[in-house]
Amino acid sequence: MKTTILGYPRIGAQRELKKACEAFWSGKIEEKSLLKIAANIKRQNWLQQNELGIDLIPSNDFSLYDQVLDTCLTLGCIPVRYKNINKNNALELYFSMARGLQNKNIDVTAMEMTKWFDTNYHYIVPEFEKEQTFKFFSKKIINEYKEALELGIKTKPVLIGPVTFLLLGKEKETGFHRLDLLDKLLPVYLEIIQELTNLDVEYIQFDEPCLALNLTDKERQAIKLTYTTINTKFPKLKIYLANYFDCYDKNLTTVLQLPIDTLHLDLTRCSMQLSDILESEHFNPSIKLSLGLVDGRNIWKNDFEASLKTIEKALTKVSSDNLWISSSCSLLHTPYDLDLETNLQPEIKQWLAFAKQKLEEISTLKNLSLPENEPYLSLYEENKLANINRSNSKLIHNKVVKERVSGLKELDSHRKNNFTVRQSKQKQALNLPLFPTTTIGSFPQTKEVRSWRLKLKKGLLSQEEYDILIAKEIKYSISFQESIGLDVIVHGEFERNDMVEYFGEKLNGFAFSDFGWVQSYGSRCVKPPILFGDVSRDNPMTVKWSTYAQSLTKRPLKGMLTGPVTILQWSFVRNDQPRETTCNQIALAIRDEVVDLEKNGLKVVQIDEPAIREGLPLRKEEWTKYLNWAVKAFRISASGVQDDTQIHTHMCYSEFNDIIASIANMDADVITIETSRSEMELLNAFVDFEYPNEIGPGVYDIHSPRVPSLEEIENLLLKAKKVLPVEHIWVNPDCGLKTRDWPETKKALENIVQAARNLRKLE
Ligand code: GLN
Ligand code: ZN
């Protein structure tokens, strides 16, 4: 039995890579310094794994920006628009593809980015042309292997498999399917493998997470072709095939028949997989199994007792020599090191394991499976005690919350009356014009505003002083909104660091790390709250600032909350109860907040749910189940109010086609969505479905500092008017304005209000 992992975090324990990249981009450090910092991180990662007992350590899992972008460069899959960039300046080319480049000679856009499966990590989307060619271009994979070798570590290079690489990309022309490019791509893979085997590489890890998706026969055929070709050409190479985030499911028979050395199983996402394999008629005990027992997507301590049972079960059919103990997926999705956390409550801390602790767990699991495991038994006991403590802890379990969730009734997820009845009551209560204007909630979070929060945290500002500053900022934003004539006002969210963290900090059941950063894309990292226990709300969370804001204006003020699904989705969540249960707990806390806002005189409340779509399971057959409970949780949060209180929701993405029925089923009185960049094309889903409630298609792309002209906005609205009932249309930006500056925000919003006025004149 041996240990391995699929990949390690690469931003550095203190986010060194983030800082170095950003310094390099802004010209503060030279390429040499950036590469030195990168080399150091790789080195530390390898030595750390070596020291903590990982037998087969990955390489080429490091990336300066993104591993899919790295693969594009490895395979010479470089879109033509970058042809004028000096090919000898590797970093300039690389970062231009990642982030675009604008200087006096060149103006190229970045490649598109999208979410990596169901994670919050974003990868660069490969682009393919009909006549696409490939070549072995960047030698990163070779160089990293050599770098590790210099430390005396013979690594397992990681390479995204050709089928996944193609499937993750996009055709930039019509007339072909990207999978047809496999014939041209495979020879380049063979070239890479040749060069690696020339260096005596023994194992190569091929990541094919597309195997967790619903594949067509043709796609499965491509997998078969790929790995039989590689094996025929390199019979001695040990192919370590990795799929993660879900079961192999219908792809299992295919992979079991492949001529590979090792098949990896994500046993945290798909625990039944092992039995399925051991019992399969296609199971070949000479193929090694890599047991992904240690969760790479979450921060909980492993349950040694359960894991050892799984190992035992594997041992009934597979010899010990043919087993790997591994992480479920790359540890990229977990923070670096729990030891750095000094402010976590000790009781909670003992339940957790970050990447470094997960390495220890993996090697301990191996050691505990050895016949002479005595020296490790104390670790087993320790693990057991921590987990027993967790399952009984008073910090986690709150009887009242549990009873409230189990007592939920069908009626709790229904407003008193249907939308038509509510709409007419709200019309009376709010008295808004046609094409009412509003924003999505946040106003510019200037450096100053952020500095106040930091000073408060460091004790350089008292709570009173901080509150006075926030109040002033709210007052300023409201007088601005009134002055330009926005119809539904917001307070501006100046007091919030982050739309999930803000609520997590006020709710019971959440803990916060100081260094629990996880890469989201490029140099961007997020620090998800740790949702460890039953969620409850002791006190109102937003009433103070919302009522203060409402007191400053006669126009309706829109209270601003984050929805239960988004809070769930953007946290590290419990693994000791179904996500649905946790989500319902959050929903009830948000519901109480909505009701409190109403009690305090607010007539409009927005419950943001930007993360509903990303929670979709990888396999379509599981979508309905998820959507049912997610939509229900939203409805629970929204249904405590009277008919004349208007509930808004907001989602900042685009692809609604396949979930439009569920979005409609959320039954928000108003939904605001992101549409401006697609020229209202994204509205089609709503139009085709005859979306019944009111809708605000975004008319201002807030991702860009560009101010949309009055004419542009009018044109967008005219387009919307053609396809939607006039009395359903709202006018608003795509999303919150927190990343924008005041000057552009002001101009853009002025144009928005004017456009709405001009449209009203046409009615
Ligand atoms: N209300 C939030 C804001 O305006 C919404 C952000 C989001 O959808 N991601 O910033
Ligand atoms: Zn948004």
Residue 366 CB less than 6 A away from ligand 1: no
Residue 491 CB less than 6 A away from ligand 1: no
Residue 499 CB less than 6 A away from ligand 1: yes
* CA atoms of 82 and 99, how far apart (whole Å): 12
Please give the single-letter amino acid code of residue 194: Q
pLDDT at 655 over 80: no
* CA atoms of 193 and 261, how far apart (whole Å): 15
Atom of ligand 1 nearest to the CA of 442: 4
Identify the pLDDT of residue 530.
98
Residue 695 CB less than 6 A away from ligand 1: no
DSSP for 317-339, please give it: TS-GGGEEEEESS-GGGS-S-GG
Atom of ligand 1 nearest to the CA of 610: 8
Identify the pLDDT of residue 682.
76
Test site for ligand 1: of 494, 499, 546, most ligand atoms within 8 A of the Cβ = 499
Cα 672 to middle of ligand 2, angstroms: 8
Identify the pLDDT of residue 681.
78
ipTM above 0.95, yes or no: yes
Please give the single-letter amino acid code of residue 500: V
DSSP secondary-structure letter at 410? Answer: G
pLDDT at 654 over 70: no
Find out whether 504 and 567 touch, Cβ atoms under 8 Å.
yes
pLDDT at 272 over 80: yes
Identify the pLDDT of residue 461.
97
The answer to whether 536 is annotated as binding is: no
**Would you state the structure tokens that stand for residue 451, as one six-digit string?**
């500095």
Q: What is the pTM of this model?
A: 0.95
Test site for ligand 1: of 562, 608, 612, 745, most ligand atoms within 8 A of the Cβ = 608
Closest CA to 249 of 277, 286, 285: 277
In sequence order, which residues have a C-beta less than 8 Å from that of residue 756 and are 6 or more positions away? 433, 435, 436, 437, 717, 731
Radius of gyration of the chain (CA): 27
* CA atoms of 397 and 509, how far apart (whole Å): 9
703 is catalytic: yes
Test site for ligand 1: of 491, 735, 738, 739, most ligand atoms within 8 A of the Cβ = 735
Structure confidence by residue, pLDDT tens digits, 568-610: 999 999 999 999 999 999 999 999 999 999 999 999 999 999 9
The answer to whether 210 is annotated as binding is: no
* CA atoms of 693 and 597, how far apart (whole Å): 22
Identify the pLDDT of residue 705.
83
pLDDT mean across residues, the chain: 96
Nearest CA to ligand 1 atom 9: 610
Identify the pLDDT of residue 704.
83
Residue 610 CB less than 6 A away from ligand 1: yes
Q: Which uninterrupted H or E stretch holds 72?
A: helix 67-74
Residue 736 CB less than 6 A away from ligand 1: yes
In sequence order, which residues have a C-beta less than 8 Å from that of residue 485 and are 6 or more positions away? 437, 753, 757
Strand-pairing partners, residue 525, are: 519
The answer to whether 570 is annotated as binding is: yes
Confidence tier at 42 by pLDDT (50, 70, 90)? very high
Atom of ligand 1 nearest to the CA of 652: 8
Atom of ligand 1 nearest to the CA of 738: 10
